[in-house]
Amino acid sequence: MIALTLEDLTRHVGGRLHLHGDDSPDTVVDGVLDTDSRLMEPGGIFVAKPGETTDGHLFIAAAREKGAVLAIVERMVDEPISQVVVPDAVDALADLARAVVAAVRASGDLRIVGITGSNGKTTTKNLLARILEDEGETVAPRASFNNEVGAPLTMLRVTRSTRFLVSEFGASAPGEIARLAGLVEPDIGIVLMVGMAHAGGFGGIEATFAAKSELIHALRPGGLAVLNADDPRVAAMAPLAEERGVDVRWFGRGDVAVQARNTEVTASGTACEVSVDGDTAPLRLRVLGEHHVMNALAAIAAATALGVPARVCIERLESVELAERWRMQPMGSDRVRIINDAYNASPDSMTAALRTLAQITAPHERMVAVLGAMSELGEYAGEEHDRIGELAVRLRIPRIVVVGSEARRLYLAAVAEGSWSDEVVFFGSPDEAYDYLVGELRDGDRVLVKSSNSAGLRFLGDRLGGYFS
């Protein structure tokens, strides 16, 4: 974070300053903010956020012992540390992020890119950050820091020398993207796709469209919207961009500014030809999955708009070995390959992962799909799990392992679609599935582990990867 006096920081968050020891209103703080006391560093600022299961105020002592010099709190705590009391710690984070980013923008050459979409945000963020980090100091979220806490914490990592801020905006309800993107008014907004992820919270696909459109409304006048031409709902955001006074840069597989042709998917990566404003060059991604080509195109579209030559973008993208842990992560060995993609799951990403499994498995190898529940689908959960079970059978996956009671509908749909005998099996827990799989898997198996985070299959994937390494 940029250096601020305690007085200025308190003013930005609308709080009351309570000093300790030798601190004064003119004392300067510039440490990293965090809500996790375990991640505190010397000079850091601890935000005591009440949570669903615990309360950050209980960990102020631990944060101080790790080096925190200031606590942002909702109530005073009897600890020897200066504290700023605010009505709401999460709102204070947002207010401080808005003020800090505005100050950096006013005094430097900061460019801000916001990314949203039902799938692919984290991968696109990582690909874009990899391109930009060689151009200048780049701040991007850790993991999937894209909510009301994670996004402001990322924004607060900017310094006076930061050239690029890449923000990822997730949401599970209307208005959340508007609130987060409104803190910084991005110069460039990337919309990847509008799908069924979080449809339960939004209330359907049209409401999801409206929520993702909030990023377009938050862009700075004169900015740029980077839109997926292959997604009709994303393409429908172009008139909104025009109303906002921003230009549109398209990416996709058709005749658009940034396009991909002749895509080939293998077990070692994905190759295609990329054309950027008429200039064509080959791209070979090490990241598994044809769907990641679109994420790469989005990153290239934004980076070239920021002045990075297309061939430089491609060269840097080809150096990326893994988009993110638990996202199409190869594990195991050549004997038994595990693909751990169990951090998030939606109908679209589940479909893409299953199709990738089919594409990268050679005729002499066996496909195995280990599938768990897709969360946050609300009233659509039943039919969407049915569809994935049916798809797995239609892709002729010979061994389908369904894990967890919330995914049982997927298992029943696969059985109804015509899966025979023990081709599809069901287990109530990851431990039961693990015991089955270590005895079932054999040389030449290619195993996809896919579910939402809440199903916990990412740890099953890790265990299988370790066992067969």
CB-CB contact of 375 with 363 (8 Å): no
Q: Is 280 annotated as a binding residue?
A: no
In a domain, residue 458? The reply is yes
Give the per-residue pLDDT at 419: 65
Q: Are residues 170 and 192 in the same domain?
A: yes
Residue 290 has pLDDT above 80, yes or no: yes
The residue from 55, 87, 119 where one domain ends is 87
Q: Are residues 211 and 348 in the same domain?
A: no
Q: Are residues 294 and 439 in the same domain?
A: no
Residue 204 has pLDDT above 80, yes or no: no
**Sign of the torsion formed by the C-alpha atoms of 38, 43, 44 and 48:** positive
Average the pLDDT over 344-350 and give the result: 91
Residue 198 has pLDDT above 60, yes or no: no
Q: Is 465 annotated as a binding residue?
A: no
Q: Is 123 annotated as a binding residue?
A: yes
Q: Give dist(CA 359, CA 353) in Å, integer.
A: 10
Q: Give dist(CA 277, CA 258) in Å, integer.
A: 6
Q: How far separated are the first and last CA of the chain, in Å rounded?
A: 41
Q: What is the extent of the structural domain holding 74?
A: 4-87
Domain count, the chain: 3
Give the per-residue pLDDT at 108: 83
Q: Are residues 344 and 284 in the same domain?
A: no
Q: Is 344 annotated as a binding residue?
A: no
Q: Are residues 306 and 409 in the same domain?
A: no
Average the pLDDT over 28-35 and give the result: 95
Give the per-residue pLDDT at 153: 96
Task: Give the CATH number for residue 438.
Answer: 3.90.190.20
Q: Is 119 annotated as a binding residue?
A: yes
Give the per-residue pLDDT at 144: 74
Average the pLDDT over 248-256 and give the result: 97
Q: Is 319 annotated as a binding residue?
A: no
Q: Is 21 annotated as a binding residue?
A: no
Q: Are residues 245 and 308 in the same domain?
A: yes
Residue 121 has pLDDT above 60, yes or no: yes
pLDDT (tens digit, 9 = 90+) per residue, 48-80? 999 888 899 999 999 999 999 999 999 999 999
In a domain, residue 323? The reply is no
Q: Are residues 21 and 115 in the same domain?
A: no
In a domain, residue 324? The reply is no
The residue from 28, 59, 87 where one domain ends is 87
The residue from 271, 290, 317 where one domain ends is 317
Q: What share of the chain has pLDDT > 70, as a percent? A: 98
Residue 174's pLDDT band, with cuts at 50, 70 and 90, is: confident
Q: Are residues 258 and 395 in the same domain?
A: no
Q: Give dist(CA 441, CA 469) in Å, integer.
A: 13
In a domain, residue 461? The reply is yes
Give the per-residue pLDDT at 178: 96
CB-CB contact of 188 with 305 (8 Å): yes
Give the per-residue pLDDT at 309: 98
Average the pLDDT over 378-396 and give the result: 94
Task: Give the CATH number for residue 36.
Answer: 3.40.1390.10
Q: How many CA atoms lie within 13 A of 50 on its CB side?
A: 7
Q: What share of the chain has pLDDT > 90, as a percent? A: 86
Task: Give the CATH number for residue 293.
Answer: 3.40.1190.10
Give the per-residue pLDDT at 353: 95
Residue 83 has pLDDT above 80, yes or no: yes
Give the per-residue pLDDT at 56: 95
In a domain, residue 112? The reply is yes
Give the per-residue pLDDT at 197: 61
Q: Are residues 113 and 81 in the same domain?
A: no
Q: Are residues 392 and 351 in the same domain?
A: yes
Q: Are residues 221 and 281 in the same domain?
A: yes
Q: Are residues 106 and 243 in the same domain?
A: yes
